[in-house]
Amino acid sequence: MATITERVKEIKDDIEKHSIYPEKVKLVAVTKYPIVDKPKLEELMTNGIFDFGENRVQVLEAKRELLEEKKNDINWNFIGNLQKNKVKYIIDYVHMIHSINRMSLAEEVDKRARGAGKIVDVLIEINLSGEESKEGYNEQEFYKELPKLMKLENIKIKGLMTMAPNVDDEEKIRASFRKLKEIKDDLNEKYFKGTLSELSMGMSHDYKIALEEGATIIRVGSKLYS
């Protein structure tokens, strides 16, 4: 079995090979797995990985406690469906929330960020597959709520996130990622004056396709540890 160090090198090589702008790409190591203990987290950091992703608040808190002495070095990314009543637990230190998928959540994050005296970087999650098992705005709903989202002063919309459809058809996966980039480009032209910089898309099984379609953030978990 490959070591984490070997896996990180492989993924970095894939970024250089497949990305249309490798210098912009960030690898977020998904740490939600029970096997990801302190030595594995430290090995990731030894290889220059300081962006960690969690999809449950209580697990994020536990992993953060393991690395208390490194807390100022790590960027914690929340990548899962975030419940409104859990925002208060992470608002003081979260680096980026990848999963703003409804107005009520955006408003709660904005309120808590204002109370903390900070502005929080967020990504808007868009469900392009139409699968009910996936969270996220549908495209029409997102555009409808965009004016209200842009008025929130304590969140900074940095880009978009999506999860590919759960299929084996590479072209359908590619089309989903391509569509997200098209939406980002449209938003930059019409609303954001080029300030949207991030596309968080691609996981262990499909990040190469995502890189080819313009991902700037890939969220990789199982590939790092298997």
* Model pTM above 0.85: yes
20-68 pLDDT, tens digit per residue, is: 999 999 999 999 999 999 999 999 999 999 999 999 999 999 999 999 9
Q: Quick one: three-class SS letters along 2-38?
A: CCHHHHHHHHHHHHHHHCCCHHHCEEEEECCCCCCCH
Residue 130: its pLDDT value, please?
A: 79
Question: Residue ranges of the domains in the chain?
Answer: 4-221
Q: What is the CATH number of domain 4-221?
A: 3.20.20.10
Please determine, for residue 1, whether its predicted confidence score (pLDDT) is greater than 80: no
